[in-house]
A and B are shown apart, each in its own frame.
Chain A
């Protein structure tokens, strides 16, 4: 690795060679004492006003020795460091920190005046809360760490950064509470991060692939959240959090499936209410996955499952339908998925029109034209709503719903039972960072059931979850 030399022009040239892009600019100036200076900076990422004030103005009357230590003292920036390696200097320029070079220098100075456009902190659209904090993470890593620091004012909060991505050099912060995390977990995570060999990390979701023990699995194995209050609560339980620069979605490990049935609001309402809503979410998800499948299986293989009056109603509505029950249900499901996909991507004002077209025109006319039956639309609509009761699992459950539907159409109710057995077996054998995905149900951990699908009051949650094996067990005196 080449270092800076005392020759300013040669060093500048070497740096420009490493950074040939047009938006990497240089600014040369001479102090009153006659010393030549040069700043190298990335135009779109550097606060030029601050650079002028903290560097150029400060050094205008410099007449001391050409020693980096002395020059740095003269600067009015609180964030400076000296660096000799040209490659490191180039990296600093690329993240927005200008580099100050000067004649006969022994080292260059890096000044922290980067300016990255950030959006305002807002409530995340995927995790809306009626009660409780409404702040959400944004894309800027520093803002996100400040949101965490504000909630955890303790020296035990460690934020260790690593760079991931050969070209993007994305900053990933490993956050944890020292003494609260299971021994070896942080090292395991850092080891996995260190092994990632990819050119660009555009979003935190890329990391989930590398952190998962079964990377090609449909099952989610890394927790996600957009809210700093949830993130901090998870750190306090003994988890490790990962913030990725450029992504508003933070990751948490180890992940338990039950986490996605919990919402931050559950902790701000009475426990009986929280238990009720968690059970409701579970019920909604089960209905969303199984209802279309059982409807099809019952129609095709076991009409006895319907009460007589309901059977007569269904028989009346499916009489003139030209498709088989499974094909009919698949068609309606496909339409729902297309409408869903289109409405998410479309501008809001078109979205309203799309809802009208989807719900009224398509639904109503398809029924009156005899393409699909009313019960099929009701069932898919109910299933569609149920899926959104647990928004973090939509990707997984929508695929599962489709799989169950296909199995039900071909093998019937026993096929659904077998598919469920498959899923259960797969889930119980999935572990990540030594933590079973289905804990505290399988393996059953009685203590942790207090905050699972049921929720005890705060006084009963005096110790951290046993599943996470935190060395610091007590959290409430």
Chain B
């Protein structure tokens, strides 16, 4: 349980990482890029695949993130940089956690439930964060088939309901649509960065960097397919379907007789998401433990504290979600390319050989 295997890492990239793009992102892209929504999405996947490749190359050096920085900049600078990186991860986790909250409140209840309905998630978050990060590897082994079955099930139930001519003509939204789509989607693409805290927790094997990038692209292809089906079903009104993966399969002909059987797949994906949304928070905590040590009761204390902070944020920002979304995807969106694309490349420039750190 102390190490993540290469297989588990590939499962994560191909099957677990894509689920975070199934909720608000498709509707957001439909809003910014209309029928050209696949292009910004494809560009992000290509950029992230490159970043994944860079991060996995770093694994060759056999050092964790903190060691990597300390090896080049010294301990004090490394601690500062790791802390900044942790703060970024905690910031990146905010949108998904709020996204999940409104998704849960809207999809799992007929009427808007009280705030307390989402509160148990923070108990789960605390429990998860208190566990060692490497235990995620085994979780991914279980989540990968669930994710595949969930997404495949939804695609099978929904592909027949779509009018694929809605995706034409290509380029109708022009460069402006493409640019707006690309910029606003940055908030959802931090997958490569999530591999950085995992450095030192998995062994590099020959070809892992290529395999990782390809696995990530395979997951991306599934998401592109899903988004195409989604837009084919809803067309211009796709922008109103906030929770894309729960909306595409409801027109399946069997629903009237069998009920919402697609909920089986939605539940499977929601289970995967419960783990996915918690990952940045756990990684932020783990980065801090890498830099400052991990005394016996600290992980539990940090886990409880972080969960409380997010719980308070989720309550206070309850009716400000649109403002948060705008802020993250427009006002401070530049943070994401800096950390998610630039950092992996810059890390490649750090000292390769291990030196004695005083």
Contacts and interface: CB of A to CB of B under 8 A. Distances in A.
Contact of B108 (A301, A306, A436): A301
Contact of A425 (B118, B127, B141, B260): B127
Contacts of A420: 271
Given A415-B120, A438-B138, A307 B131 contact: no
Interface in B206-221: none
Interface of chain B, main secondary structure: helix
Given A412-B117, A429-B131, A304 B110 contact: yes
A425 B139 contact: yes
Identify which of B8, B137, B142, B271 gathers the most chain A CB atoms within 10 Å of its CB.
Answer: B142
Contact of A436 (B118, B138, B258): B138
Interface in A267-320: 301-310
A78 to B, nearest CB: 51
B257 interface: yes
Contact of B256 (A308, A422, A424): A308
A247 to B, nearest CB: 32
Nearest to B119: A411
- Chain A residues touching B, range: 20 to 34
B142 A302 contact: no
Interface stretch (A49-57, A439-447, A461-469): A439-447
A162 interface: no
Interface of chain A, main secondary structure: helix
A301 B113 contact: yes
Contacts of B108: 301-302, 412-414
Nearest to B103: A414
Contacts of B267: 413, 417
A15 to B, nearest CB: 53
A438 B1 CA distance: 12
A428 interface: yes
A450 B274 CA distance: 30
A414 B109 CA distance: 9
B91 interface: no
Contacts of A306: 259
Contact of B139 (A307, A412, A417, A428): A428
Nearest to B116: A411
B124 interface: yes
B180 to A, nearest CB: 33
Contacts of B128: 425
A418 interface: yes
A424 B142 contact: yes
Nearest to B271: A417
B7 interface: yes
Interface in A112-170: none
Nearest to B131: A429
- Chain B residues touching A, range: 20 to 34
Interface string B211-250: 0000000000000000000000000000000000000000
B188 to A, nearest CB: 22
A83 interface: no
B19 to A, nearest CB: 13
A302 to B, nearest CB: 6
A411 B1 contact: no
Contacts of A413: 108, 267
Identify which of B138, B257, B275 gathers the most chain A CB atoms within 10 Å of its CB.
Answer: B138
Interface string B241-279: 000000000000000111110010001001100110000
B104 A414 contact: yes
B270 A417 contact: yes
A417 B131 CA distance: 19
A447 to B, nearest CB: 13
A431 interface: yes
B120 A411 contact: yes
B339 to A, nearest CB: 28
Nearest to A306: B259
Contacts of A411: 117, 120
Interface string B127-138: 110010001011
Closest A-B pairs by Cβ, 10 of them:
A307-B259, A428-B138, A442-B141, A414-B108, A442-B138, A444-B141, A421-B274, A442-B142, A301-B109, A414-B104
Interface of B: 1, 5, 7-8, 104, 108-110, 113, 117-118, 120-121, 124, 127-128, 131, 135, 137-139, 141-142, 256-260, 263, 267, 270-271, 274-275
12 contacts: A302-B109, A411-B120, A413-B267, A415-B120, A417-B274, A418-B121, A421-B124, A422-B124, A428-B135, A428-B139, A436-B138, A442-B142
Given A305-B263, A417-B271, 13 more contacts: A301-B110, A305-B259, A306-B259, A411-B120, A414-B108, A417-B270, A418-B124, A418-B274, A422-B127, A424-B142, A428-B138, A429-B138, A443-B137
